Structure 1
């Protein structure tokens, strides 16, 4: 399968990278981390104007009319810069929740019983169960109890009481929503894994010990090479799942992307040595976000179970 990007796809990715570099550079990211995360409404609106949330809506509905592969490219860029906020839920809610497509509304999601990201700042809440329902943000904000988050860029809350749904959304399938959410989260993990690799290589080239760059040491070379391999394996899996939309391939992509993001961040810490663990370095922020994302939409246990069932079904069917 050829995963070479078209000229339009490269332009789309380049445009999003330039937008994020100008509006969410390192200083802005560090300020957000020190402020406890949350959504920058101005940037959210700019993302909406750029078509980030409405990318897959038909042009007749005010969207861009592109597909899941293009969405993956944008979420990969968001993952590179650790862009905070419930990007995935808002993207999935575009065209269904008023204002989500334009970036005027922030939408988060309640799934299972874990903490909810950005619940206190959301305008609307998708509730996933046997069906998809919608809850108004003002009714959930008042009952949001802050939970300590491992990721300083992601504010977590627990609802103090059960979320009251105001509207059923039969046009949304919970199964489709979960797998698309998992794939877009995997794309964010892919972007983070790639950034960790680039950061490690850059540091290895510039940092010197014993009069030479530490990148000349075999142990450091091996770490960087392994990081690149993990990233490219995850990239192939994520891009393939974006093309096919297959749940099993999505599960495999999420597993590989989670592993790449977490292990690459850890190896990047090793390349940086003791300074990588300090607050002043950005490396630990990628590791903390990777830990948090790995439990979102599709956990490792759920993905492994899905893959095991698929393999078992293939064995029972026997050879062709």
Structure 2
């Protein structure tokens, strides 16, 4: 079985990195988080439209519907790049809403979402809310900026300056005036949202490895690079191992679509993103705790993503139940590796 990326997949990922370097460079990220909090709370419409024009949201739609006809593995590669750049906004839900909510595929509408009453990100700047509270998904379309009022939500103070949060206490009734039922499997959308969020965590985890190694090479103490010290080398090595474990898990889950593999991938990606950002702080030393260095932004975003769609406790509970339900002839690895087939699977 060959899990290496194809040439087309590598080109797709490289194209996304180039797009983000042009449309959302570090200078724009810093301007966003250093500026007015209300400005940081809203994904830029120009940026969102550019992402739509590039095909991020319509990537998996059939070509006859204006999409690229690609699959979940390709979407994971693009969302990994988004996580690497700390791209703000409800990317996963807008991607999933393509073909369900008019305007989402083109980037003309920003769509956030949640699966139960609780904390939701980017509600105030959203044009629609995807509700995955039953067997069938619903889309609430209150209009731009009216989401908090339509859901009776209250604002929360967010640790991430680029991710505003609201708390929703109750969902509106299914037949509400601004609610429409969309023909989509809510459980499938939930799994895919979980995996795409894990892909963003993976991108952040790999980026903090790069940041730590770069700093260790160029920061000198006692006449030599700090990377020459064994303690720093061990930190960087552990970061790399975590990121690689998360990478292969997320990539494999994107191929199989297996619920257990997706749950495991999210757990590994969450752990890699949070722990790598924490270790990156240690490599940077006191400099890492300053506002001007981006490490804290990766850590804060990782905390936010870790609570989205599947928390650590929920993922562990799900996997434990899967293991308990496995038959006497099955091993835990059989359950977690379910769904793989064929001789050659390109990611």
Deviations 1:58-117 (A, max 9, x none): 000000100000000000000001000000000000011010000000000132222211
Per the alignment, residue 49 of structure 2 pairs with: 45
* Displacement after TM superposition at 1:219 (Å): 0.3
Relative to the length of structure 1, the TM-score reads 0.96
Change (3 A) 1:256 1:161: closer
Per the alignment, residue 11 of structure 1 pairs with: 11
Deviations 1:210-265 (A, max 9, x none): 00000000000000000000000000000000000000000000000000000000
1:140 to 2:152 alignment: no
1:307 to 2:324 alignment: no
The aligned runs of 1:87-106 (5 Å cut-off) are 87-106=91-110
CA distance in 1, matches of 2:328, 2:167: 43
What SS does the corresponding residue of 1:171 show, helix, strand or coil?
Answer: strand
CA distance in 1, matches of 2:320, 2:257: 19
Deviations 1:143-193 (A, max 9, x none): 553210011110112348744643443521111111100000000000000
Task: Specify which structure has the bigger relative contact order, considering alpha-carbon pairs within 8 angstroms and separated by 6 or more residues.
Answer: 2
Change (3 A) 1:93 1:147: same
* Displacement after TM superposition at 1:302 (Å): 1.4
CA distance in 1, matches of 2:199, 2:86: 12
Out of 237, 245, 252, which is 1:225 matched to?
A: 237
Per the alignment, residue 173 of structure 1 pairs with: 185
Per the alignment, residue 22 of structure 1 pairs with: 22
Q: Which moved more, 1:169-178 or 1:210-219?
A: 169-178
CA distance in 1, matches of 2:142, 2:25: 29
The aligned runs of 1:1-320 (5 Å cut-off) are 1-34=1-34, 35-36=36-37, 37=40, 38-130=42-134, 131-138=136-143, 139-142=146-149, 143-159=152-168, 162-163=171-172, 165=176, 166-314=178-326, 316-317=328-329
CA contact 1:122–1:141 (8 Å) conserved in 2: no
CA distance in 2, matches of 1:144, 1:21: 35
CA contact 1:179–1:298 (8 Å) conserved in 2: no
CA distance in 2, matches of 1:85, 1:160: 22
CA distance in 2, matches of 1:285, 1:170: 35
Q: Which moved more, 1:270-279 or 1:29-38?
A: 29-38
CA distance in 1, matches of 2:312, 2:194: 11
* Displacement after TM superposition at 1:299 (Å): 1.1
CA RMSD of aligned residues (A): 1.7
CA distance in 2, matches of 1:184, 1:241: 10
Q: Which moved more, 1:111-120 or 1:277-286?
A: 111-120
Relative to the length of structure 2, the TM-score reads 0.88
CA distance in 2, matches of 1:161, 1:68: 31
What SS does the corresponding residue of 2:260 show, helix, strand or coil?
Answer: helix
